[in-house]
Structure 1
Amino acid sequence: MKTIHTPASRFQSILRNAEVAGRTTWRLAKAGARYLTRMPWPVLLVLAIALAALVTIVPIVLALFVGLLVLKFVAVAVFGRPQRRLRHTSGE
């Protein structure tokens, strides 16, 4: 038998999913806070340095990649692609 979903039941389903997601996020936050309180300060320092490096290097790499890709497209649009000569090789 087919179940008919009314807008109210869909909304209740969305609310239940949001509640589960909220509880899971809260549990993760509490576990992370407990983990941070048990972590010694030298490890925290290394973690902070690693996160700072990731936060600064990843955007630079992505920006350079996009910039070079745009530059390549502009160069192809301006100069065009050179025609490639195909070599015919015998199968022997």
Structure 2
Amino acid sequence: MITRFLTDVRVKFNPFSPRSKSARLFLSLMPPSARSNGMKIESQMLPRHSKEPAFLGLKFKDGKEMKLDLDKMRITEVMEEVDRHSRQLARKEELLGN
């Protein structure tokens, strides 16, 4: 997963719910140096009996924001969405010569 174009990651999930697996896996895919490289990562744990759906909010360097409902998405679908926009940003960066 291409994470170098992410600036802000917000995750809200119930760690005890099986439907929150995508949220837990997404957080595990973040590189250890993400925070030191300037990425803001916020995670909110919901109570055990919470019925609120898992949520992922992303912000990219170009200002685009993504809001994903993780209860309905598998981790592969989440990675595809993030990588799709990251590849577009990488292409733009390459064409500009930065």
Structure-1-length-normalised TM-score: 0.28
Structure-2-length-normalised TM-score: 0.26
Larger Rg: 1
Relative contact order higher in (CA < 8 Å, ≥ 6 apart): 2
Answer 1 or 2: which has greater strand percent. Answer: 2
Answer 1 or 2: which has greater helix percent. Answer: 1
